[in-house]
Chains A and B, each alone.
Chain A
Amino acid sequence: MEQKIQNEPLPLRSRLTPIEIERIRADFPILEQVIDGNRLIYLDNAATTQKPRVVINAISDYYRKYNANIHRGLHYLSERATEMYEHTREHAARFLGGVDPSEVIFTRGTTEAINLVAYTWGEQNIREGDEIVITEMEHHANLVPWVQLAKRKHAVLKRIPITPDGYLDLTNINEIITPRTKLLAISHMSNVLGTINHVADLAAKAHEHGAVVLADGAQAAPHLAVDVKALGVDFYALSSHKMLGPTGVGILYGRRDLLQEMPPFNLGGEMIREVRFDNVTWADLPYKFEGGTPNIADVVAFDAALHYLEEIGMDRLRQHEMDLTRYTIEQLSAIPGIEIQGPKEVEQRGGAISFTDADLHPHDISTYLDAKGIAIRAGHHCAQPLMRVLGKIATARASIYVYNNEADINALIKALRGMRRYFGL
């Protein structure tokens, strides 16, 4: 199963220039901060990204001018708010490669989107002895719901292992994905290793056996042009806050026929057609899955984030990140004692770069860098089973986004060299 994942390299003339990057940086007020005399260098984008002014303003505009509850109010504000909320849904449907807006469900984030599937589709379809296939590189969000579902249903959880250089090991894939497979739940891009998984190939394989496929797009959607139909997945989950949008908003894309068969998730207002004391009928898609008043303001502001990303262009964003990832890996590799986890080929990976130091715990690395104004992440990154596979107690992780530049990486590298001296290594 060979598949080239991403992007012929863009011609030089259409790449983001340093001046454009400077302009992009200027759109992010938080990056102007100076911490203890150091310019803030934000390299924790896989955890959450910063917000451009247009997103921040969209939240404030919404509360200043449009705030009302949606879908029921028969007044101007409610109609405007409803329109804006639904506008984001249509926008997101286009962003995901052109799906039907009724297949786009707003959630609180990726975690809730995956739990929605586990508690509705999973409860309804997984039976004793069925097999659920995941990978060794899953984030807990795409792992814990399936571990628990398998326990509840006495189903079998199988996993695709990884190779030492951080790719999925497909050697025994025909023994892992079988006619007993009911669900393949797979990360589109690893939050620890950066690996971009060959979701389309694996989805095709799972579909041969009639399985359903869910991809966790929390890390991929912010960095790659995603076309869920081309990927061939049945469910796709993402989080707004990892792609310049507000926290508290996520999306579950689901194939219409599957969503229609699924029972609702949160029961209450908004998600009903008719309620009697002895019987309730459900609202149409996607409202069946959006019980209660949703996070209207942040959904509305998410539209501004999607728009901002499209203005840059996902292909140009991706090219910039590949270039910066290559530079980061080269520079990190030159520091004695530093070991990079995950693929080195930038075409096969995103810009979440995990590394370890032979002599220092990642928490010491993170504390030291923090004192220099550099924000990275250290720990197990909500992937404890993967840490065990890697034989590491934790890793440090620098993760880039479109507003990062070589100067950020140079500061990181300089600080890491200083760190080894500071600790007497």
Chain B
Amino acid sequence: MSAPLDDMYRDIIMDHFRSPRGRKQLPVVDFSSNGRNPSCGDELKLQVKLEDGIVKDIYIDCQGCAISIASGSMLAETVKGKSIAEAKRIAEVVKQMLKGENAELPNDLEDLDSLQGVRKFPVRIKCALLAWVTFMEGLEDYEHGHGEGNVTTEEDK
């Protein structure tokens, strides 16, 4: 028996899918990172501008399903204006939440809770994860002075 559709396609998710945030190209970026799930065909390009330890701006272009587009849009909305440390912490919490581990979302980020519904559709978890993992890997590469990274969440089960 399949889970009810509305569990996954919640209003907040649909809103982000229809009008994704973070679609404005940035003139100058500090790091970029690419995510790709070949079995879905999802492709995601992410660019970040930092300033004084803060995520000043983020551009995210996602070709994929409603879940990967919405999740990317939610990432852009959430991390913009946050300190790098805080952005990392949130991304880690979302990742844990999607993988079904015990994770508390900060009170002011309850919107992200709507991604939880994806867990009832196991094959779609990787779609929701893609943007967050791509962001974290990109940040890590940047901090370690590596170049542009290529990320997939298809091995994440």
Contacts and interface: CB of A to CB of B under 8 A. Distances in A.
B5 interface: yes
A422 B127 CA distance: 20
A36 interface: yes
Contacts of A380: 39, 41
B39 A364 contact: no
Interface stretch (B25-33, B58-66, B132-140): B58-66
Interface in A364-393: 364, 367-368, 370-371, 379-380, 384, 387, 392-393
Given A423-B14, A423-B17, A423-B66, A363 B40 contact: yes
A361 interface: yes
B124 interface: yes
Which of the four size classes fits the interface of chain A?
A: 20 to 34
Interface string B38-69: 11111100000000000000000001111110
Contacts of A393: 40-43, 63-64
Interface residues of B, number: 24
Contacts, number: 54
Contacts of A363: 40, 65, 124, 127
Contact of A370 (B2, B63, B65, B67): B2
Interface string B119-146: 0010010010000000000000000000
B18 A424 contact: yes
B106 interface: no
A392 B18 CA distance: 21
B40 A367 contact: no
A387 B66 CA distance: 20
A424 B14 contact: yes
Interface of A: 35-36, 360-361, 363-364, 367-368, 370-371, 379-380, 384, 387, 392-394, 422-424
28 contacts: A35-B1, A360-B65, A360-B66, A361-B41, A361-B42, A361-B64, A361-B65, A361-B66, A361-B68, A363-B40, A363-B65, A363-B127, A367-B8, A367-B121, A367-B124, A371-B2, A371-B4, A380-B39, A387-B41, A393-B42, A393-B43, A393-B64, A394-B40, A394-B41, A422-B9, A423-B17, A423-B18, A423-B66
Given A368-B5, A393-B42, 7 more contacts: A35-B1, A361-B65, A379-B41, A380-B41, A393-B41, A393-B64, A424-B14
Interface of B: 1-2, 4-5, 8-9, 14, 17-18, 38-43, 63-68, 121, 124, 127
